[in-house]
Chain A
Amino acid sequence: MSTVIETKGLVKRYGRHVAVDGIDLSIGKGEVFGLLGPNGSGKTTTILLLLGLTEPTAGSVSVLGLDPLRQPLAVKRRVGYLPDQIGFYDALTARENLNYTARLAGLSGAEAGPRIEEALQRVRLGHAADRRVATFSRGMRQRLGLAEVLLKKADIAILDEPTSGLDPQSTQELLELIGALSREGMTIVLSSHLLAMVQTVCTRVALFSRGRIGLCGTVAELTSEVLGGTHVVEVEANGVDLPAVLADAPHVVGVAQLAPGRWRVDTDADARPEIARRVVSAGGALASMSIRQTTLDEVYVRFFEAEEGKQNEAA
């Protein structure tokens, strides 16, 4: 897998405020890479740095082997960008809007026509192509923005908060589209603070915190790194001391009491049969047991709790 985006020690300061504080990223071709973090943690600034829309204070960026500061036109020709809170010229129709960007991208009228048609069909806006964008809903605008990325036939698509403000159905459609594009070989970088959504489409994610990358890896790697397990089993049982019983059980990485008679067990596999057997053989009465996969939200919350802890210790 070849690397298409690489940053080394990227720093961006606005006056005294440090927006991005030493970011090292390496994104391979065909990946769906998620930049996750709370608002103001440096995701959008990182994206602008990748596109060469703002200059880094220190560090270097390489996109497709090109320097976005030195060769911005070459980079921007091959990278599509869907900004956060996208806007269009309301007085123009969807087709006219796309036609304008197609011309800016250097496409001739003859080339642009079929491509615009194809892109609009792809995002299912074919029926609204000649309507003024002023009448479009948020979801339609978002899809139109994606059509613009498709139109350029970009190698890399950078999507900033693509699903923010969308209803669940539009979100699902958008995610399906992103998945389809990725299968066609497009590299996709997306930022979000909606972790559950990212979990389903991203091959790798980076957790941002105060301008730094706290963690980077696949979702499974992150959950096992931060929480130790990939699954959560909730156990309700009476007459048993669960932590003692599960002390040396395989696959169990942690036990925490939620309430009297209720525990949360972190595991790195489905350990329900083992837990049940141990509870029963210890003479306990097993009332209920449920299992679910660990979500990124939990990783996120736990990770930032730990960060806060470290900060407080340092202070």
Chain B
Amino acid sequence: MRQREGSPFTGLSTVALKEAADHMTSARIHLVMLLVLLTAIGAVYAAIGQIRDTVSEDAFLFLRLFSTAREPLPSFVAFLGFLLPLVAIALGFDAINGEYNRRTMSRILSQPIYRDGLLTGKFLGGLLVIAICLLTLWLLVTGLGILLLGLPPSGEEVVRGLAFLLASFVYAGVWLAVALVFSTLFRSPATSALATLTVWLLFTVFWPILAPLIAGALAPVDIFDPTTAIARVEVEQVISRLSPNTLYGEMTLALLNPETRSLGLVFAHQLSQALIGAPLPVSESLMLVWPQLACMIAALVVLFTIAYVAFQRQEIRA
């Protein structure tokens, strides 16, 4: 095979920084960010009220900020699980097809860069914006907590908070990659936006309904054989874990509630001599979420590869 010369990443940082700058100044992102910011602050404020009312003594008061819900508002974590995909979709749905529609694609690719640089740059630019947004949110919540609860987070809480931040980042990255794939496959930004939103709706709303149905069909329960019931639950769990939302939910559960000992079925004999309700150390919690995190990173890489292959094979002329 003949090899092409020069680094595939020429111009990568230029593209990434330009994309990030574009996002930061676009009205679309301002709106989505405003939405996220307002809901997040609302959720945390409500959580603080709830914590003041109910909890007298808790070793992980600060983490409760993220995971406590007060009717009718969901918790901060639930909000993020719902809204982060929306942010990522807003960032990525017209990444590639937008360039075709503005007729800038051939002009940009006639500059001395490879397509690799353009695609990767766009992805990194989106990730950069997500990272900035998440870090801001996290710091805001922490700051609110310190101000309103009047106590600083412990070292362990900071570590768990950072791990939660990383999990949220990867989760948003997966959705950014989904948007990127559709923006490469469809030439019209409206189509790609709708397709991405459909996938988002499927996993957010319908997947929790579908998973038990599919599991019921795949692994019917025989009432005389208890092992079939276990099989059924396990199948259901596997299916529901195909959704990044499930993985993210499990990760936040294990990271923000140190008492979480397992993300699957737990049998009575496994709990013998266990101190129910005693928190796990950080390292154990991290071990617990490691498979989930690895799966999400794998999903991100696979999706990016699909976008990459599709983009490399595309004809430049529209």
Residues in A lying within 8 Å of B, measured CB to CB: 14, 44-45, 48, 51, 53-54, 69-74, 76-77, 79-81, 83, 85-91, 100-101, 103-106, 145, 148
Tell me how far the C-beta of A140 lies from the nearest C-beta in chain B, rounded to whole angstroms.
Answer: 15
Instruction: Give the CA-CA distance A87 to B111 in the complex, in Å.
Output: 14
- The B interface is mostly helix, strand or loop, or mixed, namely loop
Total A-B pairs, Cβ < 8 A: 88
Instruction: Give the CA-CA distance A70 to B25 in the complex, in Å.
Output: 38
CB-CB < 8 A to A86: which residues of B?
A: 103, 107
Residue of B14, B22, B102, B108 with highest tally of chain A CB at under 10 A: B14
Q: Is the CB of A103 within 8 A of B11?
A: yes
Chain B 58-102 residues near chain A, CB threshold 8 A: 102
Question: Is B155 an interface position by the 8 A CB rule?
Answer: no
Q: Is the CB of B6 within 8 A of A71?
A: yes
Q: Is the CB of B106 within 8 A of A53?
A: yes
Question: Is B15 an interface position by the 8 A CB rule?
Answer: yes
Contact residue among B2, B5, B15, B107 (Cβ-Cβ distance under 8 Å from A73): B5
CB-CB < 8 A to B317: which residues of A?
A: 44-45, 48, 54
Q: Is the CB of B107 within 8 A of A87?
A: yes
Q: A72-B4, A74-B6, A76-B112 are in contact. Are A104 and B104 (CB under 8 A)?
A: no
- The A interface is mostly helix, strand or loop, or mixed, namely mixed
Q: Is the CB of B10 within 8 A of A103?
A: no
Q: Is the CB of A81 within 8 A of B5?
A: no
CB-CB < 8 A to A14: which residues of B?
A: 315
Q: Is the CB of B111 within 8 A of A101?
A: yes
Q: Is the CB of A87 within 8 A of B114?
A: no
Instruction: Give the CA-CA distance A304 to B131 in the complex, in Å.
Output: 60
Contact residue among B2, B3, B14, B106 (Cβ-Cβ distance under 8 Å from A100): B14
Question: Is B35 an interface position by the 8 A CB rule?
Answer: no
Q: Is the CB of A54 within 8 A of B315?
A: yes
Q: A73-B10, A81-B106 are in contact. Are A104 and B15 (CB under 8 A)?
A: yes
Contact residue among A69, A81, A88, A100 (Cβ-Cβ distance under 8 Å from B110): A81
Q: Is the CB of B103 within 8 A of A83?
A: yes
CB-CB < 8 A to B108: which residues of A?
A: 101, 104
Instruction: Give the CA-CA distance A70 to B113 in the complex, in Å.
Output: 13
Contact residue among A71, A88, A145, A148 (Cβ-Cβ distance under 8 Å from B5): A71
Instruction: Give the CA-CA distance A237 to B82 in the complex, in Å.
Output: 88
CB-CB < 8 A to A44: which residues of B?
A: 317
Instruction: Give the CA-CA distance A106 to B113 in the complex, in Å.
Output: 9
Chain B 1-49 residues near chain A, CB threshold 8 A: 2-6, 10-11, 14-15, 18, 22, 25-26
Tell me how far the C-beta of B312 lies from the nearest C-beta in chain A, rounded to whole angstroms.
Answer: 11
Determine the residue in chain B with the shortest Cβ distance to A76: B112
Q: A48-B317, A54-B316 are in contact. Are A87 and B109 (CB under 8 A)?
A: no
CB-CB < 8 A to A54: which residues of B?
A: 315-317
Q: Is the CB of A53 within 8 A of B104?
A: no
Residue of A86, A90, A100, A101 with highest tally of chain B CB at under 10 A: A100
The list of the 4 closest CB pairs from A to B, nearest first, reads A87-B103, A81-B110, A73-B6, A104-B111
Determine the residue in chain B with the shortest Cβ distance to A53: B316
Chain B 98-137 residues near chain A, CB threshold 8 A: 102-104, 106-114
Residue of A76, A81, A103, A104 with highest tally of chain B CB at under 10 A: A104
Tell me how far the C-beta of A59 lies from the nearest C-beta in chain B, rounded to whole angstroms.
Answer: 15
Determine the residue in chain A with the shortest Cβ distance to B106: A83
